Amino acid sequence: MKRGIILFAHGARDPQWAEPFHAIHANVEKLSPNTTVRLAYLELMEPRLKDAVNELKQQGITQITLVPLFMAQGGHLKEDLPKLVTEIKTAHPTIQITITQALGESPVLLSAIAQWVAQQTQ
């Protein structure tokens, strides 16, 4: 069973906005060299989630782990994302999509962010 990863970010009008997500994407590809990793956006940037899923499906990938690169659980993750995933699962019933916690739900990352704040403000 081929697996893929989709890194899911909000999107913005300004292309520079996406730079951190491209950096994370490149890092994840290095850490998971045997897994196809794609970025996808909720809005304002391409590819959207359904397009990324389509691309992975065309590569024969049937199991996708979707990682929300959002700091916090707001309406985008509680409402928009489940709706999108339901639509995608209806269109592609053979694809299994697992959504992980958002990055702001990781105590390890929140601690790393706090340490970065403390270092910057000393």
Q: Which residues bind a copy of itself (CB under 8 A)?
A: 3, 5, 7, 9, 12-14, 16-21, 23-24, 27-28, 30-32, 35, 65, 67, 69, 71-75, 78, 100-101, 103-118, 120-122
User: To the nearest whole angstrom, how small is the minimum distance from the Cβ of residue 76 to a copy of itself?
Assistant: 9
Whole-angstrom Cα distance, residue 61 to residue 94?
Answer: 10
Q: Are 90 and 32 in contact (CB under 8 A)?
A: no
Does residue 111 contact residue 79 with C-beta atoms inside 8 Å? no
The CB-of-46 to a copy of itself minimum distance in angstroms stands at 16
In this complex, which beta carbon is closest to a copy of itself, that of residue 16 or of residue 58? 16
Query: Which is nearer to a copy of itself, 7 or 84 (by Cβ)?
Result: 7
Query: Between 58 and 118, whose beta carbon lies closer to a copy of itself?
Result: 118
| H-state helical runs in the chain | 19-31, 49-58, 75, 81-91, 107-120
Pick from 79, 50, 44: which is nearest to 66 by CA?
50
